[in-house]
Chain A
Amino acid sequence: MKGGEEREQERLLQDQAMENAVGILLRTGVLVAGAITFLGGMLYLARHGGEHFSYEIFRGEPADLRSPRGILAGLPSLQARSLIQFGLLVLIATPVLRVLLSVAAFARERDLLYVGITIIVLTILALSLFGVVP
């Protein structure tokens, strides 16, 4: 019985180390995303702040602001809206990276059941992010 408790304790410590790494990743992701979005926002307001605009009618975004590939393609021209959208994309990617990190962490603990479970979650996220679901 004592062996079981020790193993339990060890697992708890490993989980704790993993959570610390995850905490750092989440914080960094949010800060980087916030900084990029802020920069893009300043640029956007400096260029378009005086224009009139409302969101009352839904038009949908243009194609280059709809997909990771389109957003990345718009970056070199320093379009303000592309830059903001890139910041938001980093934000959406942060939890996805967290799940990816969990796959590695469970693999290191040789917890195959949870490697499998985490890969299912990762697959669902990838379906969404890469636009497989219409």
Chain B
Amino acid sequence: MTVLVLSGLILLGGVCAGLIGSLSGLGGGVVIVPLLTLVFGVDIRYAIGASLVSVIATSSGAAAAYVREGFTNVRAGMFLEVATTAGALSAAAIAGLVPATAIAVIFGLVLVSTVFVSLRGAEVVPEEEHADRLATRLRLNGSYPERPGRITRYFVQHVPGGFSLMFLAGVLSGLLGIGSGALKVVAMDMVMRMPLKVSTTTSNFMIGVTAAASAGVYLHRGYIDPGLAMPVMLGVLVGSLVGARILPRVHTRYLRIIFEVVVFVLGVEMIFNGLTGRIGG
């Protein structure tokens, strides 16, 4: 295959990933690595490098649209970024020592659990009425416009638990080249009891910074190939921008189900190919 044809096909794959990712709310990052390794036969290290770069592009693009709505908790985001960037940096530092087959299997397991987290749906967590001492000292409590004209206060809970889970989210992001958005939302929504809207937008805000912490290491290690990362990044960027624009007019429920099936199948395939040594063997 010539460079022109290969780049065109990868660009198209990136557009689809970005489109589905932004429409389903699961993020396009999780499908980039399986797409590149399983469909295009790309070495998983190059795939992770290209995926990380596209994750930064979509996170920054989407965050720019979200911040205007006033849901993002800037302080909670920054405080938790200490955990995610530290996790991402440590994972990127040791990633060279982890065999590619193990990375493929871990990737598959993360994909499968992403589907379960997504199936659980948005459970309504009872709001906490009392302020947690550590959260108050760290000024993490906030308020957000629940409906236009109605500002609701919330009290953040279980800071150490949320912080630890964020470190794990950073590790997975750095090891696999994904945004770990689903896990970040779980940490803030389920553990720290932040409202779902605040959790999702703050998570999106954090993804770019988390990914940048491992992208630097991967750049120096030669994992980021310009010829590959270019069509992936441009495709995902265009796909996610178009997705954000048509989102209000699309029935996302069926799309989400289709995407969950796709992610599940890709997850099983990654585990299988990792175990049989077809990836990184």
The residues of A with any CB-CB pair to B shorter than 8 Å are 8, 12, 15-16, 18-20, 22-24, 26-27, 29-30, 33-34, 37-38, 40-41, 44-45, 48-62, 65-67, 80-82, 84-85, 87-89, 91-96, 98-99, 102, 111, 113-114, 117-118, 120-121, 124-125, 127-131, 133-134
Shortest CB-to-CB span from A96 to chain B, Å, is 6
Contacts A55-B42, A117-B79, A128-B213; is A48 near B3 (CB within 8 Å)?
yes
Contact B93 A88, beta carbon cutoff 8 Å: no
How distant is A105 from chain B, measured CB to nearest CB, in Å? 9
The smallest beta-carbon distance between A47 and chain B, in angstroms, is 10
- Which listed residue (A37, A55, A118) contacts B46, Cβ 8 A? A55
Question: Smallest distance from the beta carbon of B86 to chain A beta carbons, Å?
Answer: 6
Residues of B within 8 A of A91 (CB): 53, 56-57, 60, 233
B26 contacts chain A at the CB level, 8 A cutoff: no
A128 touches B231 (CB 8 A): no
A34 touching B57, Cβ below 8 Å: yes
Q: Count how many chain B residues have C-beta atoms less than 8 Å from C-beta atoms of the other chain.
A: 65
Q: A interface, by DSSP: helix, strand, loop or mixed?
A: helix
Are A41 and B231 neighbours in the complex by a CB distance under 8 Å?
A: yes
B89 within 8 A of A: yes
Q: Pick out which of these stretches binds chain A: B102-110, B126-134, B222-230, B247-255.
A: B222-230
Q: Is the CB of A121 within 8 A of B78?
A: yes
Residues of B within 8 A of A (CB): 1-4, 6-7, 36, 40-43, 45-46, 53, 56-57, 59-61, 63-65, 67-68, 70, 72, 74-75, 78-79, 81-82, 85-86, 89, 92-93, 138-139, 143, 208-209, 211-217, 219-231, 233-234, 237
Q: Are A53 and B3 CB-contacts (below 8 A) given A29-B60, A37-B234, A40-B226?
A: yes
CB contact under 8 A between A81 and B56, given known A37-B234, A49-B4? no
Contacts of B57 in A (CB 8 A): 30, 33-34, 91
Contact A133 B41 (CB under 8 A): no
Q: Find chain B residues with CB under 8 A from A95 CB.
A: 56, 59-60, 208-209, 211-212
Instruction: Give chain B residues whose Cβ lies under 8 Å from the Cβ of A30.
Output: 57, 60-61, 64, 237
Q: Which residues of A contact B224 (CB under 8 A)?
A: 61, 65, 85, 88
Q: Which residue of A lies closest to B233 (CB)?
A: A37
Residues of the A chain whose Cβ atoms lie less than 8 Å from the Cβ of B212: 92-96, 125, 128-129
Q: Which residues of A contact B86 (CB under 8 A)?
A: 124
Interface contact B2-A19, CB-CB below 8 Å: no
In the bound complex, residues from chain A placing their C-beta under 8 Å from that of B231 are 41
In the complex with contacts A121-B85, A121-B209, A125-B209, A45-B3 CB distance below 8 A? yes
List 8 tightest A-B contacts by C-beta distance, closest first: A128-B216, A60-B222, A49-B4, A84-B226, A61-B222, A129-B216, A27-B64, A95-B208
30 contacts between A and B (CB under 8 A): A19-B70, A23-B63, A23-B65, A26-B67, A34-B57, A37-B233, A37-B234, A41-B7, A41-B231, A48-B3, A50-B4, A54-B41, A55-B46, A58-B43, A60-B221, A65-B222, A87-B230, A88-B229, A88-B233, A95-B209, A99-B78, A117-B78, A120-B82, A124-B85, A124-B89, A128-B92, A128-B215, A131-B217, A133-B92, A133-B217
The answer to whether B7 and A45 touch across the interface, beta carbons within 8 angstroms, is yes
Interchain CA distance A30-B244 in the complex, whole Å: 15
User: Which listed residue, B2, B213, B229, touches A51 by the CB 8 Å rule?
Assistant: B2
The smallest C-beta distance from B278 to any residue of chain A, in angstroms, reads 12
Chain A residues with CB under 8 A of B7 = 41, 45, 49
- Considering the chains assembled together, what is the distance between the CA atoms of A88 and B231 in angstroms? 12
Contacts A55-B36, A66-B221, A117-B82 aside, 11 further interface pairs with beta carbons under 8 A come to A12-B143, A33-B57, A34-B57, A44-B226, A50-B4, A55-B42, A61-B223, A84-B226, A88-B229, A93-B212, A98-B208
